[in-house]
Amino acid sequence: MLWHSNKAPTIERKYSKSILRYFRVGSHVGMTINPYQGCHHRCGYCYATYKWSPDFYDKIYGKINAPEILESELNKWKNSSMLPVMISSATDAYQYAEAKYGITRKCIKVLQQYQIPFYVFTKSCLIERDLNLFRNYNSNCFIVWSITTIDENIKRIIEPGTPPTQRVFETIKKFVDSGINCCVNIDPIIPFVTDSESHIRSIVDTCHKLDIRYISGSILRLRSDIWIRIRDILQLLGRSSSIEEYERIFGFQDPFANDNNLSADTIYSEKVINFLKDELSRRKIVFGFNKLIECITNTKLEYAISTKQCRMSEFV
C-alpha cells in the first residue's frame, strides 16, 4: 500500500450499522467512535492500515448516518454510565473530509447533549472550527495532538497529508489559551529518524513554551506492512544503513513477515522513553494523559465497564 501519492483521495458517503465500540490498548480500556474510514493524512507508520483495507489512504468514507446511530446507541445506555469516548482510534476525525461532511462536529454535539466525556486525537488544524464547542465543554473533554516531528523535511516524507507542525502548534495555542486541556503525543518515535535527543528536546521545548502540561510518547511498533513503508522511508531519507539497526533492535531479519505488532527491545525503548521523561520532569510536565482521562471520568461519570464487557470488546 503506497502511503505517498500526488492524487487526492476520493471521498464518499457510507451508511453504518453501529458506531460506538469498545477498545483496549495495553491496560487502557475505553470506547471509541470513528466517523470516517480511511485517512487523508497518509502517515507511513499508520497502525490502522490492514490488508482488508487496501485503499485506506485513497478512498475516504464518511459515515454519514453516524450522528443518528450514535444517538440511538446512547439512548440504550441512558440509565447507566459510560466510559470516556475516544475520537477516534482508526482515522483522523478532523481530516479534510470533515470540512465537507461535518460528521465529527455532529457526533460531538450528540456526545455533549448526553453529557458523555470524550477526548479527540488529531493532527489537523480543522479542529479550530469547533473551538467553541470544546471551550463550552472543557471540564469534560480534552485534545491529544499527535506530533511526530518539527522537521518539515522529514514530515513531508513520513506523513505527507498532514499540515506543517508550526501551523498545528498555532492551533494548539488557541486551545490552550481557551482553557481546554491538551496533551501532545509524540507517537510514534521512529528509530533513527525522530529518536535523537535533540529532536525530542525540540518538541518538548516548543510544548513547554506553549504551556502544555501533558506529553506522552511511545516507540514505533512494526508489522510486516508497516515495515515495508518504513524501509521505503529510510531509503527516501538516505538512511538505508539503519535497516540493520532495525533488525537488531526489533529482532528480525529482512524480509519481515510478522503480522503482529513487534516492539523495539527494552534497552533501546527505555533509553529513549527515559530521556523523554527526564526532559519532561525537568520542566514539570506530566508524562502521559491518564490523569486527563481520570479527570473527565470523575467529573460526571464513573467507569461502569464489567469484566464481561471487556472480554467482548473490540481490540484496536
**Nearest approach, Cβ of residue 254 and ligand SF4 (Å):** 23
State which residue, 90 or 293, has the beta carbon closest to ligand SF4: 90
Judged by CB under 6 A, the residue of 63, 123, 155, 199 near ligand SF4 is 123
Rule CB under 6 A: which of 264-293 touch ligand SF4?
Answer: none
Contact range with ligand SF4 by CB under 6 A, out of 7-15, 35-43, 75-83, 110-118: 35-43
Q: Which is nearer to ligand SF4, 98 or 159 (CB)?
A: 159
Q: How many Cα neighbours within 13 Å face the side chain of 24? A: 11
Identify which of residues 63 and 213 has a Cβ nearer to ligand SF4 in the complex. Answer: 63
Distance, in Å, from the CA atom of 73 to the CA atom of 176, rounded to the nearest integer, reads 32
41 binds ligand SF4 (CB under 6 A): yes
Site string for ligand SF4, 211-230 (x = CB under 6 A): --------------------
Of the pair 122, 140, the CB lying nearest ligand SF4 is at 122
CA angle 20, 105, 121 (to 5 degrees): 65
Return d(Cα 32, Cα 23) in angstroms, integer.
7
Task: Using the minimum distance from each CB to ligand SF4, give the nearer residue, 87 or 180.
Answer: 87
Distance of CA 147 to the CA centre of its chain: 9
Under the criterion CB under 6 A, does residue 199 sit at the interface with ligand SF4? Answer: no
Question: In the window 71-110, what residues touch ligand SF4 (CB under 6 A)?
Answer: 91-92
Site for ligand SF4, residues 147 to 186, rule: CB under 6 A = 159
Region near ligand SF4 per CB under 6 A, out of 40-48, 147-155, 200-208, 245-253: 40-48
Rounded to a whole number of angstroms, the minimum distance from the CB of residue 283 to ligand SF4 is 27
Closer to ligand SF4 at the Cβ: 46 or 186?
46
Residue 187 engages ligand SF4 in binding (rule: CB under 6 A): no
Please choose, from the candidates 191, 190, 189, 193, the residue with its C-alpha nearest in 3D space to the C-alpha of residue 279. 189
Q: Are 302 and 117 within 8 A, CB to CB?
A: no
Give me the phi and psi of 141, to 5 degrees please.
-155, 160
| Residue 121 to residue 145: CA distance in whole angstroms | 6
User: Tell me, what DSSP letter sits at residue 118?
Assistant: E
What is the DSSP annotation of 234-282? HHHTT-GGGHHHHHHHHT--SSP---S-BPPPHHHHHHHHHHHHHHHHH
Nearer Cβ to ligand SF4, position 140 or 218? 218
Alpha-carbon distance of 131 to 118, in angstroms, equals: 15
Strand 36-37 and strand 59-63: the pairing is antiparallel
Residue from the set 4, 16, 29, 48 that interacts with ligand SF4 by CB under 6 A: 48
Using the contact rule CB under 6 A, the part of the chain among 39-47, 223-231, 238-246, 265-273 near ligand SF4 is: 39-47
Straight-line distance from the first to the last Cα atom of the chain, in angstroms, rounded to the nearest whole number: 20
Size of the site for ligand SF4 (CB under 6 A): 10
**Residues engaged in binding ligand SF4 (CB under 6 A):** 39, 41-43, 46, 48, 91-92, 123, 159
